[in-house]
Structure 1
Amino acid sequence: MSKIINVGIIGCGEASQILHIPTLRELSDRFAITALCDPSPTVLKGVGAVVPGASLYDDGSSLLDDPSVDAVLVANPNTFHAPTAIEAMQKGKHVLIEKPMCMTLTEADALAAAEAETGMTVQIGYMRRHAPAFEDAVKIVAGIRDQINFARVHAIIGPNSSFVEPTSNVVRGDDIPQWVLDKTREDTDAKLVEAIGTSERPRALVYNLLLGLSSHDVSAMRELIGMPKRVLHAGFRREGMFITAAFDYGDFICHFETGIDAIARFNAHLEVYAQDKIVRIDYDTPYIRHQPARLTVTTPNTAFGVTSCSGHQTRGDAFVVEWKRFHDAITLGLPAKTTIADARQDLEIFQQMMQEV
């Protein structure tokens, strides 16, 4: 029987309610949710009602002092990810940090130092990289790396509300204390200034979009085809809601394109074009669970046509795989796949992109 890891959740918003709590309940042979934290009394009470027995806190430090907690999910606002995770490690808790890991390279280095000092397990929440179809694609591309002619990373999606409102009952509250809102804004602005030199739109919106949606795409790109040599070009339009870039891989270029519009669909994929093979991974919205990533491989079947094979191994949710691997890293000492050092590379790419926009 698996060892039960007691989990505390810091930040009980949309992602925790729709994605993480159902996953942890599905994995009740490995995890138990023993503590919840949120600054909104309405959210804390509402989420606490569906997680009976969990201790409720309005302050993250108090949750981290709870001896019943073995590990924490850090799902509070981005600006608090690093300080919360560092405090958790220092108090002997293992940590799964929702993406983005943090906002600045300084924070990334502080996280790495805390990890080395405490020896706690830390995993970054890039669930797309745990999808079986994606891992199959990585294996295929590894065998044709020297034949790649071109690659594309694409994510043009509609508003999350298009997927959330018809399918989920999310507890929301407008009763977060004003001092918490003020501190969140002040800390966020300070870190934006450190990272990109300004907290003003549109550059701040560009960077926040990179940290949010694009952290998934760039992280997956790095595992699939490696770290680019440099950013050839980056630009934005529509006040930062649409971003394009070109990454130089030496013998090929990868095009990057992302944006958010008003069309209710989720169009996210990575595509690698080799001399006689096209490998593509498509993702659907994570806000409707158990929609697997899909792998499509296209090859010649004659001199005049092609064959495409598309499918997925399982209906299993990538978040389930992610949490299972977190459990294995804690209990079996297996290495985490998405580490602090790995996630730091995304920030390095984002910094280079911001120098070009």
Structure 2
Amino acid sequence: MRGLARRRRIADRKECEVNRPISVGVLGLGSIAQIQHLPNLARMESRFRVAAVADISPRLTQRIADRLAGEVFASTDWREVCAHPEVEAVLVLTSGAHEQISQGALEAGKHVFAEKPLCLTVEGAERLHALATEKGLVLQVGYMKLHEELLPDLEEGLNTIGDLRLIRHSVYHPEHSTCLGPSDTLRFDDIDPQAPAEAAAFEERRTRQALGDLPPQWGWLYREVLAASFIHTVSFIRGVMGGIPRLTGADLWPPLPTGSPTEPPSLMARAEFPGHPRVEMSWLWLPATPAYREVFEAHGTRGSLEFRFPNPYFGRTATLVVKSADAAVCHPPGIESAFTRELKVFHRAITAGLSSSDASGAAQDTAFLQDMVATLTRREGLAVGGEAETRR
């Protein structure tokens, strides 16, 4: 009996370790932080405590720190948060790519949750994966769609519809203000212009490393549309299907104007998996459409399924319908949002002592986006360089 009691005490200690709160620093306090991550962290007070915040807007940083529970360290320099002794992990929620801050945090010994895109280069993502693995740290990319509550039901449904013939993922994207809805986010005009200028210069260098010296509108497309939004489609298909399909074609319309475009084009990519299932990925810019829509479909020899995503900012959950010749099974929406569930996964990985990184998957996603640019520019008589050229 004493042996059994001892095992129970050990199990209890492990359970306490798993349930302990993690002290986190939040880097970047814009829309996604204010609408999703900060409220979710507050609701999970048994798992997380915000110990520090940072943003390049001094007033925003202090205002957010004042709103949070307890004593919160505030800075306009993310490096100070990464050096803070109480901070175990950081959430990197700044705009643009997140390579620089993620690397600095890992080098400081902090676990990292980074919003997408992690990097603009394959080399960068692979380097961060190696760094996290070497240091035994968690590096998680914010692909929240892969944490939808009905994802196991989706994967089970894929096994019931026979041999796959077509996978289609469609995004119908309105104006960003429509996506945000009536949210009341704080924003101030006190940013030192040098900070965003330095970040933009870094991203320009990484874009040239990825694609070579293309005209600027192609770098804009790569950073602001493909890496900022289309990457969700690529990562979801990779996660559900267990790999990246081979790109067979890409289209873009209307044509990109010279210089800096004022709004995105629409995009389509065609690909295929071994065994011949075809894949269609479309991202449609529909500024006047009244609501954001996103649908994943799979069609097989014995049935079809449809997975409908919610607006990412509204805290709702996906729905699933699996259809066969005999019946249609409608799965009701889940209870927890994907944003909440991904943070629980992050907490579990840290407290369980796992060395966990999905940056290698992010590297695959980035390579696919580079291949899309190579395909699109070739039709315009342009040749990519950089990493994209090495895979041609």
TM-score, normalised to structure 1, is 0.92
| C-alpha contact (below 8 Å) 1:153/1:255 kept by paired residues | yes
CA distance in 2, matches of 1:300, 1:143: 12
| C-alpha contact (below 8 Å) 1:134/1:281 kept by paired residues | no
Which residue among 1, 21, 42 is the counterpart of 2:38? Answer: 21
| C-alpha contact (below 8 Å) 2:244/2:364 kept by paired residues | no
Please state how far the C-alpha of 1:135 moved relative to its aligned partner.
2.8
* Greater Rg by CA: 2
Which residue among 329, 334, 347 is the counterpart of 2:349? Answer: 329
Q: Which residue of 1 aligns with 2:50?
A: 33
- Please give the secondary structure, in 1, of the residue aligned with 2:247: strand
Which letter does structure 1 place at the counterpart of 2:20? K
* Matches for 1:101-120 after TM superposition, within 5 Å: 101-120=118-137
| C-alpha contact (below 8 Å) 1:132/1:312 kept by paired residues | no
Q: Which residue of 1 aligns with 2:370?
A: 351
* Matches for 1:191-270 after TM superposition, within 5 Å: 191-198=206-213, 200-208=215-223, 209-238=225-254, 239=256, 240-250=264-274, 251-262=276-287, 263-270=289-296
Residue deviations 1:109-134 (CA, integer Å, cap 9, x gap): 22022112211111111111010112
CA distance in 2, matches of 1:272, 1:142: 11
Could you tell me the percent identity over the aligned residues? 25
CA distance in 2, matches of 1:223, 1:181: 32
- Please give the secondary structure, in 2, of the residue aligned with 1:202: helix
Please state how far the C-alpha of 1:13 moved relative to its aligned partner.
0.7
CA distance in 2, matches of 1:162, 1:42: 26
- Please give the secondary structure, in 1, of the residue aligned with 2:311: coil
Please state how far the C-alpha of 1:213 moved relative to its aligned partner.
1.3
Structure-2 change in CA distance of 1:61 and 1:267 (3 Å): same
TM-score, normalised to structure 2, is 0.84
Residue deviations 1:275-309 (CA, integer Å, cap 9, x gap): 111122111112111x11111111112xxxxx333
RMSD of Structure 2 on Structure 1 (CA): 1.8
Please state how far the C-alpha of 1:49 moved relative to its aligned partner.
2.6
Structure 1 position 286 matched with structure 2 position 312 = yes
CA distance in 1, matches of 2:25, 2:214: 32
Please state how far the C-alpha of 1:241 moved relative to its aligned partner.
2.0
CA distance in 2, matches of 1:310, 1:112: 38
CA distance in 2, matches of 1:174, 1:195: 32
Please state how far the C-alpha of 1:196 moved relative to its aligned partner.
1.9
CA distance in 1, matches of 2:176, 2:40: 19
Which letter does structure 2 place at the counterpart of 1:172? R
Please state how far the C-alpha of 1:270 moved relative to its aligned partner.
0.9
Please state how far the C-alpha of 1:334 moved relative to its aligned partner.
5.0
Structure 1 position 5 matched with structure 2 position 25 = no
| C-alpha contact (below 8 Å) 1:97/1:123 kept by paired residues | yes
Please state how far the C-alpha of 1:181 moved relative to its aligned partner.
2.1
Which letter does structure 2 place at the counterpart of 1:316? E
Q: Which residue of 2 aligns with 1:132?
A: 149
Q: Unaligned regions of 5+ residues in structure 2, if any?
A: 1-15, 257-263, 377-392
Residue deviations 1:3-40 (CA, integer Å, cap 9, x gap): 11001011111111111001111111100011000011
Please state how far the C-alpha of 1:335 moved relative to its aligned partner.
6.8
Greater fraction strand: 1
CA distance in 1, matches of 2:126, 2:203: 18
Please state how far the C-alpha of 1:45 moved relative to its aligned partner.
2.3
| C-alpha contact (below 8 Å) 1:164/1:287 kept by paired residues | yes
Which residue among 74, 92, 99 is the counterpart of 1:56? Answer: 74
| C-alpha contact (below 8 Å) 1:60/1:84 kept by paired residues | yes
* Matches for 1:83-98 after TM superposition, within 5 Å: 83-98=100-115
Task: Tell me which moved more, 229-238 or 95-104.
Answer: 229-238
- Equivalenced residues, count: 347
Please state how far the C-alpha of 1:201 moved relative to its aligned partner.
4.4
Structure-2 change in CA distance of 1:334 and 1:92 (3 Å): closer
Structure 1 position 182 matched with structure 2 position 197 = yes
CA distance in 2, matches of 1:111, 1:30: 25
| C-alpha contact (below 8 Å) 1:233/1:247 kept by paired residues | yes
| C-alpha contact (below 8 Å) 2:146/2:236 kept by paired residues | yes
Which letter does structure 2 place at the counterpart of 1:227? G
Task: Tell me which moved more, 18-27 or 42-51.
Answer: 42-51
Which letter does structure 1 place at the counterpart of 2:201? E
Q: Unaligned regions of 5+ residues in structure 1, if any?
A: 302-306
Structure 1 position 299 matched with structure 2 position 314 = no
Please state how far the C-alpha of 1:142 moved relative to its aligned partner.
4.2
Which letter does structure 2 place at the counterpart of 1:248? E
- Please give the secondary structure, in 1, of the residue aligned with 2:325: strand
Q: Which residue of 2 aligns with 1:78?
A: 96
CA distance in 2, matches of 1:138, 1:148: 13
Residue deviations 1:161-204 (CA, integer Å, cap 9, x gap): 114241x2101122210111211221121112221224744322
